[in-house]
Amino acid sequence: MKTLDQWFEEYAVSHQNPKNKMIHYICVPSIYFSIVGLLMSIPTELIGNALKLNVPIIENWAVVVLLFVLIFYIRLSYTMAIKIAIFSAICLVLNYYIGQILPLWLFSIGVFVIAWIGQFYGHSIEGKKPSFIKDLQFLMIGPAWVVENLFSRK
C-alpha cells in the first residue's frame, strides 16, 4: 500500500498549474460537501429506528459512509484522518442546516454539478487528465491533498 506522501506526489503531477490548483481548492471540498448532502438526503428511518437517538445530524447515511471513509484515511495517516473527520463534521452540520431551509438533495446536486464542471475546466487548463481516471482511489486522495496544501506549514 502506498503512503500518503506517495499518493500526494502522484496526485501533484496533474495539479501543477496555479489556476488548476485554485480551482481544486474550491471544487474538491465542494464535491465532498455535496456528496455528504446527497447522502444525508436519503431517507433514514432504518438508521433512526435502529439507534433511537433522535439526533438527525448523526442518524443518516452520510455518517455511515463517512465511517468507512475515515477507515481509509486512518490506514494512511492518523493525523489526516483527524483533519478529514473535522471537515466531515463541518459538512454534516452545514448540510443539516441547509436542509432546514432548502431541499438538500437539490442544493447538493447543483453544487456537485457546478464543482465537477470546475474540476474538468481546471484540468483543461492543466492539460492533463484527472488522476482518478488512472485510479479511483484518487477520488479519496483529492480531499486530503487539498487539506494538506491549504492547512499545512510546509
Q: Write out pLDDT tens, residues 78-89.
A: 999 999 999 999
pTM above 0.85, yes or no: yes
Name the burial class of residue 4, with classes exposed (0-12), middle (13-18) and buried (19+) by CB atoms within 10 angstroms of its CB.
Answer: middle
Q: What is the mean pLDDT of residues 98-123?
A: 97
Q: How many beta carbons lie within 10 A of that of residue 92, not counting itself?
A: 21
At 117, list the grid cell.
464542471
pLDDT at res. 45? 80
* CA of residue 21 relative to chain centroid, distance: 16
Residue 33 has pLDDT above 90, yes or no: yes
pLDDT at res. 16? 92
> DSSP character for 132?
G
pLDDT at res. 153? 61
Q: What is the mean pLDDT of residues 132-144?
A: 91
Contact by Cβ (8 Å): 120, 28: no
